[in-house]
Structure 1
Amino acid sequence: MYFLGKLAADIVRLIGGVIDDEGVTVSVADTDGRVAASGDPRRTGTADCAARLAAAQNLSELEIRYDGEFEGALEGIAIPASVRGETAAVTLLSGPPAKVRRYAGIVKKMTEILILESVLSEETDMELRARTRFLNEWIHGAPRMPLGVLINKGLQFNIDITSPRRLMLVSVIPRDSGADAARLQRAVDAAEKKIHESLLRHEEGSLVFRSENHLVCLLPSASDEKMLSVAVRLKAGAEKAEEVTLAVGIDAPAGDWRQMPAAFSCAEKALGACLRSPSRQPRLYESLNMEIFESELSDMTKLEFIRRIFRGCSPDEIAEYAAMLEAYYDCEGSVTKAAGRLLIHKNTLQYRLKKLAERTGYDPRSIKYSSLYYNAVHFYRDLGNIL
């Protein structure tokens, strides 16, 4: 038996709109004769024996000559609808049989088309869910199964998992956090759809699917430069079209399809570094340094390190110094360039760097201490700028 659910109400609404006759009431019942939806709300949930009989005997239609001729039935006709050779539902047209019979053909056809569309859509969704579940099992390395079984399972979904691939993780972040949840979700969904369509259009052989809160993008094997180029293009396109920001992490070239779980782990670390960066520019795993082991340290350890390096500084001062040092080190120690980025005079920046050295005992301009500040700033960003 088909589960009609909301579809029954849709059938009633659409057929009622086509007939548009006040003297005709449209109802839809399942093959057991239970009325799932009706233009007369009082009928919904009731039992109609005419509908059950028409379905059980596989009739083309059943005339109900008067109210109560069959228990729970009203004057009119019962029209079974078949999908793939099986009765799926019964449409009930209540009214004088001579009047409603002229609608029987179109009602039967519309009902069958609507149910078939629903069945096909559900089958597509089920296949997509199964495909996504398989891809997640593959990239996460669970459950463990013989390689031959894994390969054959992929082929069932027309996926050759042995083809060399690179992995990219994408996180879509709404810009307007104050907007209502429905609006934010629409923006995220639209951006993810755009990413999916762009990859399938421009990167032949790509696979795109969700894993928890991220989009996993598997591209045909490519260089780091190519992967960055794709990431930058996706980011620019999505951020231009929707009120979102894209963060992207890219794996290290593995060259072996068996190492996909390791590739996912690398991309995840690169994504984490991207999310912590104010610029949110795509990050390659190969470009990471101390971020690789950041995730192994507890928040308390990071917090203690920050306080030791910026000893004597208030949380607000640490925030200002972190922004200053980030610009300074991004500009490779160029005071002129860093001052320009911070929109201050270079003498002001020199003064602040000197003041920080005096307060902490660690001169940020010295190679000896620069790594301490570099790590402290990264830990600070990792903790969400909150002390």
Structure 2
Amino acid sequence: MQLSRHNAEIIVKELNTIINDKINMMNEKGVIIASTDQERIGQEHEGAKRIINDRLEELIIHSHDRYEGSLEGVNYPIIISNEIIGVVGITGPYNKVAKYGQITKKMTEILIQEISIKEQKSMDENLRSRFVGEWLQNENVIINTNFVERGRRMGLEITNPRRVIIISVFDNGTGSDSLDEMRKVERVEERVKNVIRRLDPDSIYMKSSSNLVFAITNRKDSEIGKISEMLRSTVEEQPDMKVVIGIDDKCRPYTMMHISYSKAYKALQSCLRTKGEGIRFYSDINMEIFTDEISDMSKKEYVQKLFSGYEREELAETVGLLETLYDLEGSITAAAEKLHMHKNTLQYKLRRIYERTGYDPRSIRWSSLFYIAIDFYREIRNLIGEE
């Protein structure tokens, strides 16, 4: 095992919250790689070299000029699995710092072991995630006996009948991408994972981009719906936190789970595009089935062609008006009330849309054109105005 500079810095910072004296961490070559005294980083510490070469249990330095690059203080080997991987030192008069020596050594060794366990766990999780990603997201991967056995060696049994659900947790408050907001989302995601693990210990999990993907043991839609509602309650009991969930349509053979993933992802995207239900099965979506196959440029061209001559802000207002109208089943009275305008004003605006586009948004015949434009606009609104 090697003591990395990154981990040494973490440990020195942690130790410094308990011990106010200057602390140094040297690697297996006796070079200072972390210190509360930044100017000493990178210097060779002859005292540390002697501890490593002679396997000393302790080295007390009483004079600054006794060992090159070393100051008065106490130094101890960091021993992991009977191997010296570095040295930890405390700078100061012996009668002041000696009382912290053995405690500092033990704390350092414990912290290193904890970090090592976390790193190994992270590596294992990354390997598992890559495997699950191949299984669920890559339609070209060959799912044979070797692939199945590879999963089993990681504790993943992919041959059991499963369904796929994809979950996206986000902060609906400030919209900030600050570190605090990211940590808040991560904490809520951990709660979601714990709920799934409790309800389905045999579930298979991976993180894909900002989504949580679960291949859960086979269940009826009604049962998955209850689990999803429980997850939503878990998330939304936290201030400003929201969740959307996409669910596949049925259980498939383990060799075809990429289809289940694709359908759950389309259901999730449908949730993200709309202001409606935060939980959606693939069987509930309609035109979203094929809209992912259409390029953003084509969607932009369609919207701009239908609403030719509209400025960016004007287009946003018009799409919002039509979206409200269609959400309320075309009721002028209900839409006007929700939009906080007189119904005559709303009717005038709808006539203007007819005059400018050549299509009447109140007509059943032409409403589908506007409905498609609304759906496209949700995805490419940021591209409007760009050339």
TM over 0.5: yes
The corresponding residue for 1:87 is 84
- Give the conservation status (yes or no) of the 8 Å contact 1:190–1:242: no
The corresponding residue for 2:3 is 3
Range that drifts further, 197-206 or 347-356: 347-356
| CA deviation string 1:159-215 (max 9, x = no partner) | 101111111122223223454623432332233222212212233322332112222
| CA deviation string 1:342-385 (max 9, x = no partner) | 7889999899889978985657464x555455444433444449
- Specify whether residues 3 and 343 from structure 1 end up closer, same or farther in structure 2 by C-alpha distance, changes over 3 A only: same
Q: Deviation at 1:245?
A: 2.5
- The SS at the match of 2:77 is strand
Which of 54, 61, 65 in structure 2 is aligned with 1:57?
A: 54
Distance in 2 (CA, whole Å) between partners of 1:386 and 1:39 is 49
Q: Over the residues paired in the alignment, what is the CA RMSD in angstroms?
A: 3.6
The corresponding residue for 2:133 is 136
Q: Deviation at 1:112?
A: 1.5
The corresponding residue for 1:195 is 192
Aligned pairs (5 A) from 1:106-255: 106-141=103-138, 144-145=141-142, 147-179=144-176, 181-255=178-252
- Give the conservation status (yes or no) of the 8 Å contact 1:11–1:114: yes
- Specify whether residues 346 and 222 from structure 1 end up closer, same or farther in structure 2 by C-alpha distance, changes over 3 A only: farther
| CA deviation string 1:97-152 (max 9, x = no partner) | 57755544333322221221121121111112222122112211277345112111
Distance in 2 (CA, whole Å) between partners of 1:171 and 1:55 is 50
> What amino acid sits opposite 2:34 in the alignment?
A
* Structure 2: unaligned runs, 5 residues or longer: none
> What amino acid sits opposite 2:320 in the alignment?
A
Q: Deviation at 1:47?
A: 0.9
Distance in 2 (CA, whole Å) between partners of 1:277 and 1:360 is 26
Range that drifts further, 307-316 or 84-93: 307-316
- Specify whether residues 161 and 84 from structure 1 end up closer, same or farther in structure 2 by C-alpha distance, changes over 3 A only: same
- Give the conservation status (yes or no) of the 8 Å contact 2:192–2:231: yes
* Structure 1: unaligned runs, 5 residues or longer: none
- The SS at the match of 1:82 is strand
- Give the conservation status (yes or no) of the 8 Å contact 2:3–2:28: no
Range that drifts further, 231-240 or 140-149: 140-149
Q: Deviation at 1:255?
A: 2.1
Q: Deviation at 1:81?
A: 1.8
Count how many residue pairs are aligned between Structure 1 and Structure 2: 379
1:73 and 2:74 matched: no
Distance in 2 (CA, whole Å) between partners of 1:275 and 1:94 is 56
- The SS at the match of 1:241 is coil
> What amino acid sits opposite 1:163 in the alignment?
N
- Give the conservation status (yes or no) of the 8 Å contact 1:5–1:36: yes
Distance in 1 (CA, whole Å) between partners of 2:168 and 2:344 is 39
> What amino acid sits opposite 1:226 in the alignment?
E
- Specify whether residues 69 and 263 from structure 1 end up closer, same or farther in structure 2 by C-alpha distance, changes over 3 A only: same
- Specify whether residues 178 and 213 from structure 1 end up closer, same or farther in structure 2 by C-alpha distance, changes over 3 A only: closer
1:28 and 2:25 matched: yes
